[in-house]
Structure 1
Amino acid sequence: MSNDNSQQEAVLRRDLAAAYRLAAMLGWEDTIYTHFSVRLPDIDDTPRFLINPFGLMFDEVKASDLVIVDVNGKILEGDSDYNLAGFTIHSAVHTARDDAHCVMHTHTVPGMALAACDDGLLMLNQISTEFYNNLGYHDYEGVAWNLEERTRIQQSLGDNIGLVLRNHGLLTVGETVADAFQIMYYLNKACEIQLATAQMAGLNKIVPIPEKLAAHVNSQFKGVEHERHFVWQAWLRKLDRIDPSYKD
């Protein structure tokens, strides 16, 4: 491996481990289940990605713990196995989207509640509009152990930044860990808003954002996507103050 690739891998390991720790801090974890991954530079034209070793809680994950897997499921580096359903979902995206270097999947209560609703995500708040015409939906097929489901996941995701896995949870993608994390943060927040709104619906008239206005605000968000990097640096500073051991 070239020195440049080694340095890039070190940064990606640090960022992905940080994402796991931050997810735990935000209450996104589901014991040892769910998973985040990030693609590494190819070696001999073989796509590879980092993913969490099966069995660790999110607040235990360190950069050195992450396992390198190829898109055929072979462990290239690491002492632990990975979650098979996680491999199915993440390899589906990594083999279909060159721009989706990072993939995040969660089982949060707001996300799972939204995933059980036929209407999907509604345009109820400014935060929701980031996902206007930018969110896919994938019908539930059971635990994702069937590798044939990968093709259908790819079709459901399309070129969107997020995917609602119906009756299951949420998935986001980004060119960087910073992108995918920020997108997941706000997709989960949009689900929280919708869940809270549904609880008030019996007492109040719901006022959704009109479609034309939602499209306008969505275009505004596209113009400030570069700000995700600044937010990510702020998250890292916060995490460093609390527990920098994710870097180990």
Structure 2
Amino acid sequence: MLDLKGRVSIYQPEQEGLIFPYEPSFESVEEERRHRKERLVGACRAFAQQGFDYGFAGHLTVRDPERPELYWTNPMAIHFDKVKMSNLILVDHEGNVIEGTHAVNRAGFVLHANVHEAHPDIIAMCHAHTVYGTAYAALGRPIEPITQDACAFFEDHVIIGDEAGAVAVENHAGSNVATAFKGVKAAIHQNHGLLTASRHSIEAAAFWFIALERCCQQQLAIAAAGIPPIYIREDRARYSREHVGSEYIGWLHFQTIWDQLVQDCPDMFD
């Protein structure tokens, strides 16, 4: 067991005075709301960079800090690359748009509202129709501990087989997804795709979605090689997950993406 000396992660520097990302603190709920909305927009732009767009499919959500029964999400039929502060919408668990002028994605509302309502501790959630995640989901298999990257999800994701392949447009359709997210950060919805959730931040939810898609690509590539992989021992997989798979590490990874977006995409804040 490593002695972190009061730090959240081994990756935090012990030496003081070095430039390093630190988690924010807020002086008002308005400040925290703006922060969450900005990072939600950033997560959408990151998904655009990753090529996660597929028509109007794909939805990211984050709770409002003052009214946790409501959540902010990307507007229906707006490309991830065009999501900005001014077109975000605030939605309740019934699918009503409380703030904003755009419609809500019906499937997104059904899936995300059920998860947010069933798990008050979940702050953010992500879903998109990606190439490798959707392909891997057709196998109905978990991510195997065959790379260090994959260990971030070891015993921290589930397979959802119920109603596999049926589009979630009826309110009850999200109930199985909500049940599955008890105590895990990711789910593979069989014949559908990937979902991630975070009890920490939208940044963590977004990065772990990007990471899970990458793991699916890796696992499909390994399978295509036709050579049985060498599995990482369970104790080593858990050790790696502890140090590279936490909510904090997901947040920390996203900071590099955020800094790049701030420089390259100033229109996010319009």
Aligned to 2:107: 85
CA contact (8 A) 1:51 1:69 kept: yes
> CA offset at residue 30 of structure 1?
1.4
Matched, 1:236 2:258: yes
Aligned to 2:204: 179
Residue number among 148, 153, 159 corresponding to 2:183 in the alignment? 159
Aligned to 1:220: 243
Distance 2:213 2:269 in 1: 26
Distance 1:14 1:68 in 2: 14
Distance 1:82 1:240 in 2: 26
> CA offset at residue 150 of structure 1?
2.6
Aligned to 2:231: 208
> CA offset at residue 113 of structure 1?
1.3
2:216 partner amino acid: C
> CA offset at residue 48 of structure 1?
0.3
> CA offset at residue 192 of structure 1?
1.1
> CA offset at residue 78 of structure 1?
0.9
Distance 2:104 2:213 in 1: 25
Give structure 1 stretches of 5+ with no counterpart. Answer: none
Residues 48 and 234 from structure 1, CA distance in 2 versus in 1: closer, same or farther, beyond 3 angstroms? same
Residue number among 222, 228, 234 corresponding to 1:197 in the alignment? 222
Matched, 1:68 2:62: no
Distance 1:178 1:234 in 2: 11
Q: Give runs of aligned pairs for residues 116-155 of structure 1, distance below 5 A.
A: 116-139=138-161, 140=164, 142-155=166-179
How many residues are paired up? 241
Deviations 1:23-77 (A, max 9, x none): 101111212211101000244xx60001111111110110110110011211101
Matched, 1:12 2:17: no
Deviations 1:123-157 (A, max 9, x none): 11011111111101212151101111232112222
Aligned to 2:123: 101
Residues 97 and 73 from structure 1, CA distance in 2 versus in 1: closer, same or farther, beyond 3 angstroms? same
Q: Which moved more, 1:225-234 or 1:6-15?
A: 225-234
Distance 1:113 1:141 in 2: 12
> CA offset at residue 158 of structure 1?
1.8
The CA RMSD measured in Å over matched residues stands at: 1.8
Distance 2:206 2:61 in 1: 11
CA contact (8 A) 1:129 1:214 kept: yes
> Percent identity of the aligned residues?
27
Aligned to 1:31: 55
Distance 1:228 1:152 in 2: 25
Q: TM-score, normalised by structure 2?
A: 0.84
Q: Which moved more, 1:90-99 or 1:16-25?
A: 90-99
Partner of 1:215, secondary structure, is helix
CA contact (8 A) 1:137 1:164 kept: yes
Aligned to 1:49: 71
Distance 1:198 1:207 in 2: 12
CA contact (8 A) 1:13 1:64 kept: no
Give structure 2 stretches of 5+ with no counterpart. Answer: 1-26
2:30 partner amino acid: S
Runs of at least 4 residues of structure 1 off by over 4 A? none
Residue number among 136, 159, 162 corresponding to 1:114 in the alignment? 136
Residues 230 and 214 from structure 1, CA distance in 2 versus in 1: closer, same or farther, beyond 3 angstroms? closer
